[in-house]
Amino acid sequence: MKPADVCIAVLVAVIWGLAFVASRIALNEFSPELMTTLRFAIAALPCLFVARPKVSWMVLVSISFTLFLGQFLAQAFAIAHGVPVGLSSVIVQSQALFTIGFAALLFRERPGAWQTVGIGIATVGLLMICGTVGYDFSVGAFAILMISPLSFAAGNLLLRRAADVPMFDLFAWLCLVAAVPLVALTLVSNGPQPTWHALTHMSLTGLMCMIGLGGVSTSIAYWLWGRLLRDYPAAQVVPFALLVPFVGSAASSVVFGETFGPLRLAGMVTVVGGIAVMLLSKRPKDSEDPKALEKQVLPKIA
């Protein structure tokens, strides 16, 4: 990769890692529903200038409700209910494990030997983390968080049905499709008056967090990542996603003073190690076709 593109890949990973911290700060003044709505409403603004990609509404809705709505709404609820930010950034990355598993179950795509090893390692790490649940956050919050990587994995596979369209246009419209039901959900669950009050009394910090989450993390970062996947083999690009949980955990430690007990820390490192084995395992087809976006395990954005 060109040095400039390496810098872009690192920058995207840093943006996605810091987005977990921005989400936690934004949740201090917004409900999970409203924060997720604002995120996608901002990210959907390019729809004013780009045409709807040539995919059916059914495909758009199915991808949007899994890759975006389900993933980020579950993430927001879990963080709002006490799941630590650094731990969340690691758990969401386990989508790589579930994507490979779902592909094997549904499409009979057998993982390679090293991918199988990686799945085993990551599974052990998740079980170690499960052993720490119930102390500083509830089992229910952890269960909600697990919806995020599961939804993300389903969305990864559904993206195969829209692999030949411009990624920037696609992601903008995916955000719009997610924002519409989220508006209704917010008004029903929060009520019109509390929602209006939260919007009209938004602090500068809250506004900056939402611009960062919607405009930078969701819109610009995804566009940059899509360009890298277009120009280079995925084997060169995707491993940079491993930086996301490290950035998220480090930033959470600095900003919130988050600490990890020995078992949880060991579990987090084990999960990331298993993901590294999966992503770095040799996949000849990927290296031959840099445009094979539909075959990739896309990284998590926050």
C-alpha atoms less than 13 angstroms from C-alpha of 295 in its C-beta half-sphere:
17
Is a pLDDT exceeding 70 seen at residue 288?
Answer: no
The predicted model gives 199-227 an average pLDDT of 90
Q: What is the pLDDT of residue 213?
A: 94
Of the listed ranges 14-28, 195-209, 237-251, the least confidently predicted one is 237-251
Q: Which of 110-124, 188-202, 270-284 has the lowest mean pLDDT?
A: 270-284
Q: Is the pLDDT of residue 296 over 60?
A: no
pLDDT of residue 291 exceeding 80, the answer is no
Cα separation, 188 vs 34, whole angstroms: 11
More confident residue, 225 or 200: 200
Under 8 Å between Cβ of 299 and 241: yes
Task: Supply the pLDDT for residue 269.
Answer: 87
pLDDT at 156: 81
DSSP codes joined into one string, 61-130: HHHIIIIIIIHHHHHHHHHHTT--HHHHHHHHHTHHHHHHHHHHHHH--PPPHHHHHHHHHHHHHHHHHH
- In this predicted structure, the answer to whether residue 195 has a pLDDT above a threshold of 60 is yes
Say what the pTM is. Answer: 0.83
What is the pLDDT averaged over residues 30-43? Answer: 95
pLDDT in tens, 95-142: 877 888 888 888 777 878 887 888 888 888 888 887 777 667 788 888
Model confidence at 234, pLDDT cuts 50, 70, 90, reads: low
pLDDT for 166:
84
Between CA 262 and CA 281 the distance in angstroms is 28
- Higher pLDDT: 113 or 39? It is 39
Of 64-68, 156-160, 238-242, highest mean pLDDT: 64-68
User: What's the pLDDT tens digit per position in 254-265?
Assistant: 888 887 788 888
User: Which residue type does 4 have?
Assistant: A
